[in-house]
Structure 1
Amino acid sequence: MMDDGYANRLRRRRYREQRRREHMRRGAAMACIGAVIALCLCMVVAIPRRSATVASAAVADMRGCRASMAWPVADAHVVGAFDPPPQPWDPGHRGVDLAVELGGDLLAPADGIIAFSGTVAGKSVVTIRHGRLTSTFEPAQTALPAGSRIGRGDRFATVAGESDHCGESCVHWGVRTGDERYLDPVGQAETRKIVLKPVTET
């Protein structure tokens, strides 16, 4: 028969062992909860910082963004919109009309070479070749000979001569590709860039 003192000691030992295991389980659970809380706090702190970094990069990228072409007149105001024909042989408006007085300066929308200056079907025309694109202006006249190199923003001609629709209050600007496909000049002169807005920290 088991001694009562021994039995009591055994019960106390088992009780202490059970308490120790429960304490260890509670400690492990608290450690897990603490780790989860710490991870959540790190995520809350990290997200605004990353957003600020993204916003700074976006601003820097936006500052470096540049339209493929510049407006050829100061304070450009479109008075005649681009309206391409459904078929190449149909009538249409293959460019835009910009408000400018007769005698106003024309500025090169991009680096290029004077490809032509003269009269076409009674219209005074100046053409600039910018690599894969070509700009045409009328009414326009220039003293620069064909082959002259000009830089973006350089004064290359004046609004002068004859035009079939602009008269004395505007200049027609057309842009076409090498395969004679006309583009909307406004789309070439405007800066178009999508920038994601940063998350606002609350």
Structure 2
Amino acid sequence: MNPIIALFKIMAIVSMLAVAEPADATGRWVYPVGPPHGPADVARGFDPPEQPWGAGHRGVDLRAPEGSEVRAGGSGRITYAGMLAGRGVVVIDHGTLRTTYEPVDASVRVGARITAGEPIGSLSARGSHCAPASCLHWGAIRGNTYVDPLDLISVRGTRLLPLGQRAITEKPPPPPDPPPVSGELGWPVRNPYVTSPYGLRTHPITGERKLHDGTDFRARCGTPILASASGRVTGAGPRGAYGLQVSLDHGRIGDITMATSYSHLSRFAVRQGQSVRSGEVIGWSGNTGLSTGCHLHFMVYAGGSLSDPMTWLPARTQER
């Protein structure tokens, strides 16, 4: 289908389904892929046309691996979740604003109310704006006018722009090379033992084959969970399938920004905004969220993109 026709179809559906719903009372917004509080790995930025019918880029493309969790940028109500022009699209009404997410394999239904950061599906490669690489196209529409969705996030942290000397209106660059084995982070548990590595796998509960976006470590119920590096707590609360989760922003480690998250906890030892030291206890392991037993699900974002945690940890562990 002609991309211009597809665009107008999306706009038509968004306009027809829009109803006045109260916006999130807290005004809280998060990034829909990657670390919820940034940094964002922007493959292509917002570049609207001078005229509504002209060529341009009416949203932002955020790099993320195929199968990554896609979350709601803000609280609202699902008004569309299905296929459109050969790709999966989700639309959320936030009141005077609507946001769109594509290509997404939706896990939500029309009419469902959703909070900021709540999962709405997984990133699909079919219909990617960054093909052959995968990325999420995130759009925001106020009335009939597209706006920059990155402006919705009041505290963005670092925003990673396209690589090289390319302008944002040019084709996005290829994805970066995987990071070298670093050892820049410390172990999140004592006596580490890997029970499920990062990579594609069949989910033990849902049976769905998708990206396992972190490394699972054996951690009996109540095991102390440790900060992998010094940083600031950007989140400490329930995160859907991840259960109780702590997220840390480590700033720059070496020449790259780093963030980590620790999921399925039973309780927290820290609060949002708190500074922590490397090796400090941030919580205790549990079985919250979509989990088959007590363990730690450990995720690493390097330069704003999901990364295999084992490439950043010391070269010493046991693996099942």
Q: TM-score, normalised by structure 2?
A: 0.37
More strand by share: 2
Q: Which amino acid aligns with 1:176?
A: I
Alignment of 1:50-199 (within 5 A): 68-75=28-35, 76-160=40-124, 162-163=126-127, 165-167=129-131, 168-177=133-142, 179-191=143-155
Q: Any idea what SS the aligned residue of 2:52 has?
A: coil
Q: CA deviation at 1:166?
A: 2.8
**Quick check: 1:72–1:109 contact (8 Å CA) kept in 2?**
yes
Superimposed CA distance per residue, residues 82-115 of structure 1 (whole angstroms, 9 cap, x where no aligned partner): 0000000111100000010110001111111111
**Quick check: 2:78–2:108 contact (8 Å CA) kept in 1?**
yes
Q: Which amino acid aligns with 1:189?
A: I
**Quick check: 1:84–1:94 contact (8 Å CA) kept in 2?**
yes
Structure with the greater alpha carbon radius of gyration: 1
Partner Cα distance (1:173, 1:80) in 2: 11
CA RMSD of aligned residues (A): 1.9
Structure 1 spans left out of the alignment, 5+ residues: 1-65, 193-202
* Identity over aligned pairs, percent: 39
Superimposed CA distance per residue, residues 23-81 of structure 1 (whole angstroms, 9 cap, x where no aligned partner): xxxxxxxxxxxxxxxxxxxxxxxxxxxxxxxxxxxxxxxxxxx7652111123211111
Q: CA deviation at 1:143?
A: 2.6
Alignment of 1:31-42 (within 5 A): none
Of structures 1 and 2, the one with the larger relative CO (CA 8 A, separation 6+) is 1
Partner Cα distance (2:112, 2:130) in 1: 26
**Quick check: 1:108–1:150 contact (8 Å CA) kept in 2?**
yes
Q: Any idea what SS the aligned residue of 2:151 has?
A: helix
Q: Any idea what SS the aligned residue of 1:186 has?
A: helix
Distance change (3 Å), C-alpha of 1:125 and 1:108: same
**Quick check: 2:33–2:136 contact (8 Å CA) kept in 1?**
no
**Quick check: 1:67–1:189 contact (8 Å CA) kept in 2?**
no
Q: TM-score, normalised by structure 1?
A: 0.58
Structure 2 spans left out of the alignment, 5+ residues: 1-25, 157-320
Q: CA deviation at 1:124?
A: 1.7
Deviates more, 1:123-132 or 1:157-166: 157-166
More helix by share: 1
Partner Cα distance (1:145, 1:170) in 2: 22
Q: CA deviation at 1:164?
A: 5.3
Partner Cα distance (1:159, 1:146) in 2: 18
Deviates more, 1:104-113 or 1:153-162: 153-162
